[in-house]
Structure 1
Amino acid sequence: MASLEHGENNKSLMKSSKRTAKVQVLEQDLTIEKSHVFYGT
């Protein structure tokens, strides 16, 4: 049973790390757009 629970924990960890990676990419896109507007390119 312990190993089963461990597997579930790993799944949720992977999900959360994927989510943070998505957020980081979105934030990068936003800053790139802002710099484009700022520099007028």
Structure 2
Amino acid sequence: MKNKIKFKKESIISIVFSILLFALVNLLFYKKNARNYTNSLGL
């Protein structure tokens, strides 16, 4: 029973971590695209 709880907790942590990593990558990608877009407009 203890092992099940431990596994569940670790899987939740890994899911949260992967979501945060995905969000961070998206944010960096969006910033890069936004900068390229403003450069193409000549701002």
TM-score (norm 1): 0.80
Segments of 4+ in structure 1 off by > 3 A? Answer: none
Structure 1 unaligned runs (5+)?
A: 1-6
Percentage of matched positions with identical amino acids: 14
Quote the Cα distance in structure 1 between the aligned partners of 2:20 and 2:32.
18
1:28 aligns with 2:22: yes
Q: May I ask how many residue pairs the two structures share in their alignment?
A: 35
- d(CA) in 2 for partners of 1:36 and 1:16? 30
**Structure showing greater Rg:** 2
The offset of 1:38, in angstroms, is 0.6
Which consecutive residues of structure 2, in runs of 5 or more, have no partner in the other structure? 38-43
**Which digits, 9 at most, give the CA deviation of each residue in 1:1-41, with x for residues without a partner?**
xxxxxx01000000000000000000000001001111007
Distance in 2 of aligned mates of 1:23 and 1:35: 18
Paired letter, 1:36? Y
